[in-house]
Amino acid sequence: MKKKRSVAKGRMTQAHISAVVAEIEAYDRGEREGALSWSHLEKFSGFSHVALWQKEPIKNAFQRVKQRARRDATPAIKPHRTVDKRISSMQEAIDELRELIRAYDEQWALYEHNLHRLGLDPEELRRPLDRLSRREVRGPGRSDSTW
């Protein structure tokens, strides 16, 4: 004679399903310690993992909470820039700085040309400031100890 398998709580009712889903959602809200697992739900409900998994509301709630936990636990990982990308970005920065230097050189050439045109010596611009002029350039209240 075949022995009947003992069932902890009989057939699973809608009340059992709602209680298990509520327990899963408690994990989602952080009201339970530890990680959500089927073994905990088996102990909580008295039904097997397979029986719980067969109920769509339970399965969906479990998968949703697990997915959210994975998404929250794993930070977005930025892919490492390759050496080629780093070199190209540095080369772009160098090119921009060279263009800036070229623009300053053109501006200085314009200033020197206008000085010659006005009859002034460009070498006068390169002469160092005397101590009194340094104070005027630096402004009141500033120290000139670095000059």
User: What pTM was computed for the model?
Assistant: 0.44
Average pLDDT, the chain: 81
Least confident of 88-97, 103-112, 137-146: 137-146
CA distance 37 to 35: 6
Mean pLDDT to the nearest integer, 19-42: 87
139: left (phi over 0), alpha (psi -120 to 50) or beta: left
Residue 77 burial (10 A CB sphere; 0-12, 13-18, 19+) = exposed
